[in-house]
Amino acid sequence: MTLNSIAKELNLDCNSDINITGLNTLKDASNCEISFLENKKYLSDLKDTKAGAVFITEEFKNELPSNTIALITEHPYLSLAGLSKLFAPKVVETAGKKAVIGQNSTVMENVSIGKNTIIGNDVTLMSGAFIGDNITIGNNTIIYPNVTIYRDCTIGDDCIIHAGTVIGSDGFGFAHTKDGKYIKIYQNGNVTIGNDVEIGSNTSIDRAAFKSTIIEDGVRIDNLVHIAHNCVIGRGSIITGQCGFAGSSVLKEYVIMGAQSGVAGHLEIAPFTTISAKSGVTKSIKEPKKQWAGFPLMEHRTWLKLQGKINRLLTKDSK
Amino acid sequence: MTLNSIAKELNLDCNSDINITGLNTLKDASNCEISFLENKKYLSDLKDTKAGAVFITEEFKNELPSNTIALITEHPYLSLAGLSKLFAPKVVETAGKKAVIGQNSTVMENVSIGKNTIIGNDVTLMSGAFIGDNITIGNNTIIYPNVTIYRDCTIGDDCIIHAGTVIGSDGFGFAHTKDGKYIKIYQNGNVTIGNDVEIGSNTSIDRAAFKSTIIEDGVRIDNLVHIAHNCVIGRGSIITGQCGFAGSSVLKEYVIMGAQSGVAGHLEIAPFTTISAKSGVTKSIKEPKKQWAGFPLMEHRTWLKLQGKINRLLTKDSK
Amino acid sequence: MTLNSIAKELNLDCNSDINITGLNTLKDASNCEISFLENKKYLSDLKDTKAGAVFITEEFKNELPSNTIALITEHPYLSLAGLSKLFAPKVVETAGKKAVIGQNSTVMENVSIGKNTIIGNDVTLMSGAFIGDNITIGNNTIIYPNVTIYRDCTIGDDCIIHAGTVIGSDGFGFAHTKDGKYIKIYQNGNVTIGNDVEIGSNTSIDRAAFKSTIIEDGVRIDNLVHIAHNCVIGRGSIITGQCGFAGSSVLKEYVIMGAQSGVAGHLEIAPFTTISAKSGVTKSIKEPKKQWAGFPLMEHRTWLKLQGKINRLLTKDSK
Q: Does C274 touch chain B if contact means CB atoms closer than 8 Å?
A: no
What's the rounded mean pLDDT across residues B151-161? Answer: 98
Q: Does B218 touch chain A if contact means CB atoms closer than 8 Å?
A: yes
- For B271-285, write each residue's pLDDT tens digit: 999 999 999 999 999
Q: Is the dihedral of CA B64, B69, B73, B77 positive or negative?
A: negative
Give the model's confidence band at B313: pLDDT under 50 very low, under 70 low, under 90 confident, else very high.
confident
Which of A110, A202, A236 lies nearest to residue C180, judging by beta carbons? Answer: A236
Q: What is the pLDDT of residue C317?
A: 55
Residue B317 has pLDDT above 70, yes or no: no
Are B230 and B189 in contact by the 8 Å Cβ rule? The answer is yes
Strand order of the β-sheet with C33-36 is C22-23, C33-36, C53-56, C69-72
The pair phi, psi for residue C32, each rounded to 5°, is -100, 5
Q: Does A179 touch chain B if contact means CB atoms closer than 8 Å?
A: no
Best to test chain B binding among C112, C146, C306 (most B CBs inside 10 Å)? C146
How many Å lie between the alpha carbon of C143 and the closest alpha carbon of chain A?
14
Burial status of residue A308 (CB atoms within 10 A of its CB: 0-12, 13-18, 19 or more): exposed
Of residues B313 and B270, more confidence is placed in B270
Strand-strand pairing, A174-176 and A182-184: antiparallel
How many Å lie between the alpha carbon of C112 and the closest alpha carbon of chain A?
7
Q: What is the CA radius of gyration of chain B?
A: 22
How many Å lie between the alpha carbon of C212 and the closest alpha carbon of chain B?
24
Which of C162, C223, C277 lies nearest to residue B226, judging by beta carbons? Answer: C223
- Which chains neighbour B (Cβ–Cβ under 8 Å, 3 or more pairs)? A, C
Rounded Cα gap, residues C244 and C225, in angstroms: 6
Q: What is the pLDDT of residue C315?
A: 83
What's the rounded mean pLDDT across residues B32-54? Answer: 95
* C-beta atoms of B201 and A148 within 8 A: yes
Q: What is the dihedral of CA A69, A70, A75, A77, to 10 degrees?
A: 30
* C-beta atoms of B172 and C220 within 8 A: yes
DSSP chain B: -BHHHHHHHTT-------B--EE--TTT--TTEEEE--SGGGHHHHHH---SEEEE-GGGGGGS-TTSEEEE-S-HHHHHHHHHHHTPPPSS-SSSPPPEE-TT-EE-TT-EE-TT-EE-TT-EE-TT-EE-TT-EE-TT-EE-TT-EE-TT-EE-SS-EE-TT-EEEEPPS-EEEPTTS-EEE-----EEEE-SS-EE-TT-EEEPPSSSEEEE-TT-EE-TT-EE-TT-EE-TT-EE-TT-EE-TT-EE-TT-EE-TT-EE-TT-EE-TT-EE-TT-EE-S-B-STT-EEETTTTEEHHHHHHHHHHHHHHHHHHH-
Nearest CA in chain B to A172: B222
CATH class of B111-227: mainly beta
* C-beta atoms of B244 and C224 within 8 A: yes
How many Cβ atoms from other residues are within 10 Å of residue A235's Cβ? 20
What's the rounded mean pLDDT across residues C151-163? Answer: 98
Residues of chain A contacting B162 with CB distance shorter than 8 Å: 166, 169-170
Closest CA to A221 of A202, A246, A249: A202
Closest CA to A49 of A32, A62, A68: A68
What's the rounded mean pLDDT across residues B109-121? Answer: 98
Q: How many CB pairs under 8 A join B and C?
A: 131
Catalytic residue positions of B, numbered: 229
How many Å lie between the alpha carbon of A17 and the closest alpha carbon of chain C?
49
Give the model's confidence band at A316: pLDDT under 50 very low, under 70 low, under 90 confident, else very high.
confident
What's the rounded mean pLDDT across residues A15-37? Answer: 96
- For B223-261, write each residue's pLDDT tens digit: 999 999 999 999 999 999 999 999 999 999 999 999 999
B35-40: long-range contacts, CB 8 A cutoff, minimum separation 24: B36/B76, B36/B77, B36/B79, B36/B80, B37/B76, B38/B76, B38/B77, B38/B80
Spatial neighbors of C109 by CB under 8 A, at least 6 apart, are B112, C127
Residues of chain B contacting A302 with CB distance shorter than 8 Å: 314
Distance of CA C130 to the CA centre of its chain: 20
Q: Does A274 touch chain C if contact means CB atoms closer than 8 Å?
A: no
Cα separation values, A232 from A64, A212, C22, Å = 29, 9, 39
Are B266 and B273 in contact by the 8 Å Cβ rule? The answer is no
* C-beta atoms of C130 and A163 within 8 A: yes
Rounded Cα gap, residues A51 and A30, in angstroms: 5
How many Å lie between the alpha carbon of B193 and the closest alpha carbon of chain C?
18
- Which chains neighbour A (Cβ–Cβ under 8 Å, 3 or more pairs)? B, C
Residues of chain B contacting A181 with CB distance shorter than 8 Å: 196, 218
Q: What is the pLDDT of residue C313?
A: 85
Which of C130, C204, C228 lies nearest to residue A202, judging by beta carbons? Answer: C204
C 7-46 → A contacts, CB under 8 A: none
- Which chains neighbour C (Cβ–Cβ under 8 Å, 3 or more pairs)? A, B
Best to test chain B binding among A131, A153, A169 (most B CBs inside 10 Å)? A169
| Helices A300-318, B300-318: crossing angle, 10 deg rounding | 90
Residues of chain C with pLDDT > 70, as a percent, come to: 99
Distance of CA B283 to the CA centre of its chain: 19
Which of A130, A244, A298 lies nearest to residue B242, judging by beta carbons? Answer: A244
Rounded Cα gap, residues C27 and C50, in angstroms: 8
Q: Does A194 touch chain B if contact means CB atoms closer than 8 Å?
A: no
Q: Does B189 touch chain C if contact means CB atoms closer than 8 Å?
A: no
Are A193 and A155 in contact by the 8 Å Cβ rule? The answer is yes
Residue C151 has pLDDT above 90, yes or no: yes
Q: Does A77 touch chain C if contact means CB atoms closer than 8 Å?
A: no
The correct answer on CATH 3.40.50.1820 for the domain covering B231-319 is no
Q: What is the mean pLDDT of chain A?
A: 96
Q: Does B198 touch chain A if contact means CB atoms closer than 8 Å?
A: yes
How many Cβ atoms from other residues are within 10 Å of residue B210's Cβ? 21
Q: How many CA atoms lie within 13 A of B239 on its CB side?
A: 33
Q: What is the mean pLDDT of chain B?
A: 96
Element (H, E) at C300: helix C300-318
CATH architecture of C3-86: 3-Layer(aba) Sandwich (3.40)
* C-beta atoms of B204 and C124 within 8 A: no
- For C201-256, write each residue's pLDDT tens digit: 999 999 999 999 999 999 999 999 999 999 999 999 999 999 999 999 999 999 99
Q: Does B304 touch chain C if contact means CB atoms closer than 8 Å?
A: no
How many Cβ atoms from other residues are within 10 Å of residue C47's Cβ? 10
What's the rounded mean pLDDT across residues B21-44? Answer: 95
Rounded Cα gap, residues A148 and B239, in angstroms: 23
Are A143 and A137 in contact by the 8 Å Cβ rule? The answer is yes
Residues of chain C contacting A242 with CB distance shorter than 8 Å: 226, 242, 244, 262
* C-beta atoms of B169 and C145 within 8 A: no
Closest CA to C292 of C310, A310, C284, B242: C284
* C-beta atoms of C108 and B110 within 8 A: no
Best to test chain A binding among C165, C199, C226, C227 (most A CBs inside 10 Å)? C226
Q: Does A150 touch chain B if contact means CB atoms closer than 8 Å?
A: yes
Q: Does A111 touch chain C if contact means CB atoms closer than 8 Å?
A: no
Cα separation values, A116 from B31, B126, C227, Å = 60, 18, 38
Which of C112, C169, C296 lies nearest to residue A201, judging by beta carbons? Answer: C169
Cα separation values, C15 from C6, C12, C18, C61, C70, Å = 11, 10, 9, 16, 10
Residues of chain A contacting C316 with CB distance shorter than 8 Å: none
Q: What is the pLDDT of residue C316?
A: 74
- For C70-123, write each residue's pLDDT tens digit: 999 999 999 999 999 999 999 999 999 999 999 999 999 999 999 999 999 999
Closest CA to B282 of B257, B264, B302: B264
Rounded Cα gap, residues A179 and B152, in angstroms: 32
Angle C208-C214-C216 from CA coordinates, rounded to 5°: 175
Residue A4 has pLDDT above 90, yes or no: yes
- For A137-176, write each residue's pLDDT tens digit: 999 999 999 999 999 999 999 999 999 999 999 999 999 9
Q: What is the pLDDT of residue A157?
A: 98
Spatial neighbors of B131 by CB under 8 A, at least 6 apart, are B99, B111, B112, B113, B114, B117, B119, B125, B137, B143, B149
Where do the domains of chain C lie? 3-86
Residues of chain B contacting C289 with CB distance shorter than 8 Å: none
Residue A317 has pLDDT above 90, yes or no: no
**Domain boundaries A100-300, corresponding CATH code:** 2.160.10.10
Q: What is the pLDDT of residue C319?
A: 44
Best to test chain B binding among C110, C125, C127, C158 (most B CBs inside 10 Å)? C127
Best to test chain C binding among A143, A260, A307 (most C CBs inside 10 Å)? A260
Q: What is the pLDDT of residue B319?
A: 44
At C157 the three-state DSSP class reads coil
Which of B128, B172, B224 lies nearest to residue C222, judging by beta carbons? Answer: B172
Q: Does A112 touch chain C if contact means CB atoms closer than 8 Å?
A: no
Q: Has the ipTM of the complex gone over 0.90? A: yes
Residues of chain C with pLDDT > 90, as a percent, come to: 96
Residue A210 has pLDDT above 80, yes or no: yes
Are B63 and B45 in contact by the 8 Å Cβ rule? The answer is no
Q: What is the pLDDT of residue A122?
A: 98
Q: Does A166 touch chain B if contact means CB atoms closer than 8 Å?
A: yes
* C-beta atoms of C163 and B130 within 8 A: yes
Nearest CA in chain C to B113: C127
